[in-house]
């Protein structure tokens, strides 16, 4: 699967770990930065991930920051993006299963590295159940 990933300075360390984790699982990962822990403005790195997912150039996107809140808000401003801010495995599972989330936002300051990787694993593996939720999502994604 093609995955786009990006973070601000506060999510940089986990971004690097998640990127490696996804590559080890066989996914093709495009990294939109940032490339260090030096302070940056998060929209500069999050919006390109969201635009790539919205254009269908990546099937999924992962964004990170200190809390993940700003990153999720910035991503969700892009039409056809459904970015879920997840804080545990169950929120990740439900975001995929019920909401067909095509982007995941994580907060490095709020999660252990192990939990972040487990959230990503579950989010990647969980299929969308479709059914009654599908029409609602199609309406939201309509041009």
Q: Do 75 and 42 touch, CB atoms closer than 8 A?
A: no
- Cα gap 51→25, rounded to integer Å: 24
* Residue in 71, 113, 114, 118 annotated catalytic: 71
- Annotation marks residue 71 as catalytic: yes
Distance CA 102, CA 115 (A): 20
Tell me, yes or no, if 24 is annotated catalytic: no
List strands edge to edge, sheet with 60-65: 28-31, 2-7, 60-65, 103-107, 83-85
Q: State the catalytic residue, choosing from 98, 113, 114, 118.
A: 98
Catalytic site residues?
Answer: 71, 98
């Amino acid at each position: 699967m093609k995955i786009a990933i990006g973070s601000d300075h506060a999510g940089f360390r986990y971004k690097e770990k998640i990127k490696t984790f996804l590559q080890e699982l066989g996914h093709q990962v495009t990294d939109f930065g940032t490339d260090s822990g030096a302070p940056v403005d998060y929209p500069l790195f999050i919006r390109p991930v969201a635009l790539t997912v919205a254009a269908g150039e990546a099937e999924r996107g992962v964004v990170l920051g200190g809390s993940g809140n700003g990153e999720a808000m910035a991503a969700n401003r892009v039409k056809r993006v459904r970015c879920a801010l997840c804080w545990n495995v169950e929120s990740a599972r439900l975001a995929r299963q019920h909401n067909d989330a095509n982007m995941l936002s994580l907060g490095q300051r709020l999660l252990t590295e192990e939990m972040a990787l487990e959230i990503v694993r579950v989010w990647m593996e969980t299929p969308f159940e479709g059914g009654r939720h599908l029409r609602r999502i199609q309406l939201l994604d309509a041009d």
